[in-house]
Amino acid sequence: MSELFQHHPEAGTPVEPSRFDHIKRWAIGFLVFVIAAFGLALLLLPVPEAKAQTKGELRIGYQKSASLFVLQKAQGTLDKKLAPLGFGVKWVEFPAGPQLLEGLNVGAVDVGYVGEAPPIFAQAAGAQFVYFGYDPAAPRAEAILVTKDSPIKSVADLKGKKVALNKGSNVHYLLVKQLEKHGLKITDITPVYLAPADGRAAFESKNVDAWVIWDPFQAAAEKATGARVLADGTGGVVNNYQYYLGARNFVTKNPRVIEALFADSVEQGIWLKKNLRQAAELIAPLQGLPVDVVELALQRYEFNVKPITAAVAADQQKIADTFFDLKLIPKAIKVSEAVVVSQP
């Protein structure tokens, strides 16, 4: 019997269905097929929920010498704090503070951690950023070093001597203030401007009489060569603060992210100070330094981020004024213009 015929349920004779019924069955079957195929395609597509839940990404600029950030990166603790806020973390490494500030200025990172000098040069150059936190003073974490057999016994003995330092860095300010304390000016010595690696080479070969440097390079020279600390920042000479900086829009629009960064930095700083050796063992391979060198450097830093205060901003202003007087920056600046007024 032809497939176009069927038996009527009530009569025994075959009845030819209408063409409309046939088309209707065909259309329903085709629709079911399309729905099934579409459902299967949806199952095979990548699940978009993970991206939809992520509001953004905190891009952190860091240096290998910035031990706390290195520890936080290794431990992954900040990732856990930001996850409930829908934020991920991206760590972007820079060789030094000036490059980090440039990265912040061009929008490559959202926040960073540097010493006192780089922000001053960056602000004088018109970079757009804000200070939003600082670590307490660490005056022992930078020093004027002499070789273990050097006849130099006092900063006053540096008169007429060659002193290596990184131009425009924190230690530049330390040297100026130590010379002032001992009745000298920067013009009473011969500054030799060298980056840390070249400075150490000149120091060890005795092509310079002293070297002004910061940790962990300072600790490395002490451990490896027996270098002697002639003077550091203690005694009220310098504070040597470390600063947390950020893009103004990011900091003001994402206070909970900044709060999470603060909280994690405080917690990791407390853990670090209570577990110096263990922290050094975690950080050392990432910095490419011996564990005992890192441990010594960690002892001299304080890790307890706080919101910027008027007193801290005033201290930074003194450095900026000194650098302007030395003609290291092209114009006078107001540090207060780059300080976040409202803090988490």
In this prediction, residue 21 carries a pLDDT of: 52
Cβ atoms 105, 113 nearer than 8 A? no
Domain ranges of the chain: 6-44, 52-136+249-338, 140-232
Q: Which CATH number fits domain 52-136+249-338: 3.30.420.40, 3.30.70.260, 3.40.190.10, 2.40.30.20?
A: 3.40.190.10
Closest by Cα among 291, 261, 260, 264 to 277: 291
In a structure prediction context, what are the per-residue pLDDT tens digits for the chain, which is 344 residues long?
333 333 333 333 444 445 445 544 544 454 444 444 444 443 344 433 333 344 799 999 998 888 889 999 988 999 999 999 999 999 999 888 888 999 999 999 999 999 999 999 999 999 989 999 999 999 999 999 999 999 999 999 999 999 999 888 889 999 999 999 999 999 999 999 998 999 999 999 999 999 999 999 999 999 999 999 999 999 999 999 999 999 999 999 999 999 999 999 999 999 999 999 999 999 999 899 999 999 999 999 988 899 999 999 999 999 999 999 999 999 999 999 999 754 43
CA distance 197 to 185: 26
* 137 Cβ contact partners less than 8 Å away, ≥ 6 residues apart: 233, 239, 240, 241, 302
In this prediction, residue 252 carries a pLDDT of: 92
Which two tokens mark 326?
């030395």
Half-sphere exposure of 269 (CA within 13 A, CB side): 17
Which two tokens mark 138?
């660490």
Domains 52-136+249-338 and 140-232 share a fold: yes
In this prediction, residue 45 carries a pLDDT of: 43
Cβ atoms 182, 188 nearer than 8 A? no
Which overall architecture, per CATH, does domain 140-232 show?
3-Layer(aba) Sandwich (3.40)
Q: Whole-model pTM?
A: 0.78
Closest by Cα among 238, 235, 166, 163 to 203: 163
In this prediction, residue 25 carries a pLDDT of: 56
In this prediction, residue 298 carries a pLDDT of: 95
CA distance 59 to 317: 28
Strand 210-214 with 162-165, pairing: parallel
